Amino acid sequence: MDRYIVKGGNALVGEVDISGAKNAALGILAAAVMADETVLIDNLPDVRDINVLIDAIAEIGASVERIDRHSVKINGSTINSTCADNEYIKRIRASYYLIGALLGKFKKAEVTLPGGCNIGSRPIDQHIKGFKALGADVKIEYGMIKTEAADLHGSHIYLDVVSVGATINVMLAATLANGNTVIENAAKEPHIVDVANMLNSMGANIRGAGTDIIKIKGVEKLHGCEYSVIPDQIEAGTFMFAAAVTRGDILVRNVIPKHLEAITSKLYDIGCSVEEYDDAVRVISNGKLVSTQVKTLPYPGFPTDMQPQIGVALALAEGTSTIVESIFENRFKYVDELMCMGANVRVEGNIAVIEGVEKYTGAQVNALDLRAGAALVIAGLAAEGFTIIDDIHFIQRGYEGFEQKLRKLGAVIEMVDSDKEIQKFKLKVG
């Protein structure tokens, strides 16, 4: 079983290039199957969730040609099945985007119920509400979601909760429905805009993505296009907080600074300086870290996907901080691991009260989920001594070459798969 071993204590300094956004790319890959012409997608992150979805797309019969690690050509004209249920697809959340895409194109889809990180209850009632409003029957049986429609028609849909997944899924299906659809209370994340832009480059007619009302005029069919995925705001934010926590100085390149505003603003609050360039941000952390209050919210609020990373910084910040997690109820699991490293945190329901401590000390911890795992690596980089992070397959779902990128910044980290390798690493780095 792969693990990371980290020797903490080095300030991370240098430049890092951010990969394409995983959560945008997942929607974009699903959208690609809706055309009967070739779609070329570029700037894909080479991470596990993306590769699983590409395999699932090939399995339903689409022609898939990998150009290189970051680009793929997909042609949906050869699809011969509307059923996606391979054993891997159930492990990723975004399998559900194939429902919207296949339902839109073939008026029928059967997909295994989605998996993904265990960060709390993750209902899909809003996706189902949207599909039903478009005229589809939806059944859940034998672990599958089965949808079918004689005809998909435009509709007015109010989402009861702001949901990234439901917004993208309904947008996908409504693109090929007859007539006009309005999605109210839509999510506004950059990846929603990216998926809408991609669909529009394929001939869709979607307006308003990025606001809470999205208007879609159904079109008869979609055509091929070439599209490059936006940079990953959460990967960028993770490196920005790695600079903060290790008292480093990192130029985070290939980003859209506007997408990082909530993250940048919290870095200012805790005492870091942030310089913004056209497509880069530099985070410098050379003073002491100070406490702040955080509440996770849908975009443009502070992202839940950055909550563990800011938690790791606040546990080293002078004073008392609070974090209110308002999106997923089970996203404080990393706190127990962090306490093994010396943090002083009390969790009550969806609120964490954090008393800053002077330093972390290395321990053996568990990644638990994607963002928790990345946050614990950062904690290890700031800690005194050695930290071992188990279950890094979670991290590999969403961070491309995490340890290589960190090493380039001066981190002492290695992926190991045995106790012998851990001993070797310890002897090597002293």
Residues with catalytic roles: 117
Q: Does 124 bind ligand EPZ (CB under 6 A)?
A: yes
- Beta-bridge mates of residue 111: 84, 145
**Residue 38: CB atoms within 10 Å:** 17
Which C-beta is closer to ligand EPZ: that of 241 or that of 425? 241
Which C-beta is closer to ligand EPZ: that of 200 or that of 326? 326
Contact between residue 264 and residue 270 where contact means Cβ atoms under 8 Å apart = no
Q: Give the C-alpha separation, 168 to 177, whole Å.
A: 15
Of 67, 161, 213, 353, the one binding ligand EPZ by CB under 6 A: 161
Q: In whole angstroms, how close is the CB of 150 to ligand EPZ at the nearest point?
A: 24
Of 230, 327, 341, 406, the one binding ligand EPZ by CB under 6 A: 327
Q: Does 93 bind ligand EPZ (CB under 6 A)?
A: yes
Question: What's the farthest any 2 CA atoms get from each other in the chain?
Answer: 68
Q: Does 94 bind ligand EPZ (CB under 6 A)?
A: yes
Q: Give the C-alpha separation, 162 to 304, whole Å.
A: 13
Contact between residue 374 and residue 395 where contact means Cβ atoms under 8 Å apart = yes
Q: Does 380 bind ligand EPZ (CB under 6 A)?
A: no
- Residue with smallest beta-carbon separation from ligand EPZ: 165
Q: In whole angstroms, how close is the CB of 308 to ligand EPZ at the nearest point?
A: 9
Omega of the bond leading into 231 within 30 degrees of 0 (cis): no
Applying CB under 6 A, which part among 121-129, 205-213, 250-258, 360-368 lies near ligand EPZ? Answer: 121-129
Q: Does 214 bind ligand EPZ (CB under 6 A)?
A: no
Q: Which residue has the tokens 């795992």?
A: 373
Say how far residue 389 (Cα) sits from the centre of its chain: 20
Q: In whole angstroms, how close is the CB of 95 to ligand EPZ at the nearest point?
A: 9
Q: Does 241 bind ligand EPZ (CB under 6 A)?
A: no
Of 85, 110, 235, 305, the one binding ligand EPZ by CB under 6 A: 305
Contact between residue 101 and residue 108 where contact means Cβ atoms under 8 Å apart = no
Which C-beta is closer to ligand EPZ: that of 123 or that of 179? 123
Of residues 254 through 283, those in contact with ligand EPZ by CB under 6 A are none
Q: Does 126 bind ligand EPZ (CB under 6 A)?
A: yes
Sequence-distant (≥ 6) Cβ neighbours of residue 39 within 8 angstroms: 32, 73, 74, 75, 76, 202, 224, 225, 226, 227
Of 188, 83, 201, the residue nearest 145 (C-alpha): 83
87 exposure class (CB count in 10 Å sphere: 0-12, 13-18, 19+): exposed
Question: Contact residues for ligand EPZ (CB under 6 A)?
Answer: 23, 26, 93-94, 117, 119, 121-127, 161, 163-166, 187, 304-305, 327-328, 370-371, 398
